[in-house]
Homo-oligomer: A and B are copies of this chain.
Amino acid sequence: MRRFLTDRARRAVAASLRGATRPAAPSPAPAAALSRPSPSAPSAMAAYMARAMSTSAAGTPPVSLDTINPKVLEFKYAVRGEIVTHAQNLEQELHKNPESLPFDEILYCNIGNPHSLGQQPVTFFREVLSLCDHPALLDKSETHALYSSDAIERAWQILEKIPGRATGAYSHSQGVKGLRDEIAAGIAARDGFHASGDNIFLTDGASPAVHMMMQLLIRSEKDGILCPLPQYPLYSASIALHGGSFVPYFLDEETGWGLEVDELKKQVDEARSKGITVRALVVINPGNPTGQVLAEENQKKIVEFCKNEGLVLLADEVYQENIYVEDKQFHSFKKIARSMGYTDDDLPLVSFQSVSKGYYGECGKRGGYMEVTGFNADVREQIYKVASVNLCSNISGQILSSLIMNPPKVGDESYESFMVERDGIISSLARRAKALEEAFNSLEGITCNKAEGAMYLFPRLHLPQKAIGAAQAAGAAPDAYYALRLLQATGIVVVPGSGFGQAPGTYHFRCTILPQEDKIPAIISRFKEFHEKFMDEFRDVSRDEAPTGATIESGGD
Task: Report A420-466 residues with CB < 8 Å from chain B CB.
Answer: none
Cβ B38 vs Cβ A363 within 8 A: no
B134 adjacent to A19 (CB under 8 Å) = no
Query: Contact at A64–B133, with CB atoms within 8 Å?
Result: no
On chain B, the residues within 8 Å of A346 by CB distance are: 55-56
Q: By the criterion CB–CB under 8 Å, are B34 and A20 in contact? A: yes
A374-386 CB contact bits vs B (8 Å, 1 = yes)? 0111110110011
* Distance between A65 CB and nearest chain B CB, rounded to angstroms: 5
Tell me the bound Cα distance from A267 to B5 in angstroms. 12
0/1 interface trace, chain A 7-20, chain B, CB 8 Å (1 if under): 10110111111111
Nearest opposing residue in chain B for A73, CB measure: B382
Given A35-B21, A130-B130, A215-B72, verify A364-B166 contact (CB < 8 Å): yes
Contacts of A245 in B (CB 8 A): 18
Contact B145 A64 (CB under 8 A): no
**In the complex the two chains form, what is the Cα distance from A74 to B348 in whole Å?**
22
8 Å CB contact of A136 from B1, B64, B123: B123
Q: Which B residues lie within 8 Å of A410 (CB)?
A: none
- Residue in B58, B246, B378, B397 whose beta carbon sits within 8 Å of that of A41 in the complex: B378
Is B173 a contact partner of A219 (Cβ separation < 8 A)?
no
With contact pairs A137-B146, A217-B69, A241-B215 given, residues A364 and B392 touching in the complex (Cβ less than 8 Å) = yes
Contact present for A1 and B252 (CB under 8 Å): yes
A530 CB–B CB distance under 8 Å? no
CB of A248 within 8 A of chain B? yes
Of the stretches A23-31, A319-327, A481-489, A544-552, the one at the interface is A23-31
Which residues on B sit within 8 Å (CB–CB) of A229? 13, 17
With CB as the reference atom, state the residue of chain B lying closest to A505.
B9
Q: Which of A56, A131, A247 has the most CB of B within 10 A?
A: A56
A80 at the interface (CB under 8 A from B): yes
Once A13-B501, A69-B219, A164-B116 are accepted as A-B contacts, the answer to whether A58 and B309 lie under 8 Å apart by CB is yes
In the complex, residue of chain B having the shortest beta-carbon distance to the beta carbon of A347: B62
Asked if A308 CB lies within 8 Å of chain B CBs, one says yes
A75 within 8 A of B: yes
Number of copies of this protein chain within its complex: 2
Is A411 located at the chain interface by the 8 A CB criterion? no
Contact B208 A390 (CB under 8 A): yes
Q: From A96-104, A187-195, A231-239, A294-302, give the one contacting chain B.
A: A231-239
Tell me if A364 and B168 are in contact (CB < 8 A): yes
Q: Is the CB of A134 within 8 A of B140?
A: no
Which of the residues B2, B75, B219, B504 comes within 8 Å of A70, measured between beta carbons? B219
Q: Is A519 an interface residue (CB 8 A)?
A: no
Given the interface contacts A55-B345, A72-B215, does A24 sit within 8 Å of B389 by beta carbon?
no
A133's partner among B20, B25, B129 (CB-CB below 8 A) is B129
Q: Give Cα A164 to B115, complex, Å.
A: 8
Q: Are A503 and B5 in contact (CB under 8 A)?
A: yes
A18-B246, A55-B346 as given contacts; A24 in contact with B309, CB under 8 Å: no
Residues in B whose Cβ lies below 8 Å from that of A279: 62-63, 67
Would you give the shortest CB distance from A314 to chain B, in whole angstroms? 12
The interface residues of chain B lying within 8 Å CB-to-CB of A362 are: 168
A365 and B168 within 8 A (CB): yes
Query: Which residues from B are CB-within-8-Å of A111?
Result: 170
Measured in the bound complex, the distance between the Cα atoms of B414 and A85 in whole Å is: 40
Docked pose: A252 CA to B143 CA in angstroms: 55
> Could you say which residues of chain B place their CB within 8 Å of the CB of A57?
307-308, 310
With A130-B137, A169-B115 known to touch, is A376 a contact of B243 (CB < 8 Å)?
Answer: no
Contact A389 B130 (CB under 8 A): no
Answer whether residue A93 sits at the interface, using C-beta atoms and an 8 A cutoff: no
Contacts of A29 in B (CB 8 A): 20, 22-23
B27, B38, B69, B503: the one within 8 Å of A381 (CB): B38
Is B25's CB under 8 angstroms from A376's CB? no
**In the complex the two chains form, what is the Cα distance from A366 to B169 in whole Å?**
10
- Whether A205 sits at the interface, judged by CB under 8 Å, is yes
A20/B38 in contact, CB under 8 A: no
For the complex, give the distance between the alpha carbons of A182 and B313 in Å: 44
Contact partner, A27, options B88, B220, B308, Cβ 8 Å: B220
**Stretch with Cβ within 8 A of B (4 or more), from A44-52, A283-291, A533-541:** A44-52
Further contacts, 13 of them, CB under 8 A, given A23-B29, A64-B376, A73-B382: A5-B503, A10-B248, A17-B236, A22-B74, A26-B26, A65-B379, A69-B242, A72-B386, A115-B164, A115-B167, A116-B170, A363-B391, A366-B393
The 6 A-B pairs of least Cβ separation, nearest first, read A58-B310, A130-B134, A116-B169, A115-B168, A364-B395, A366-B394
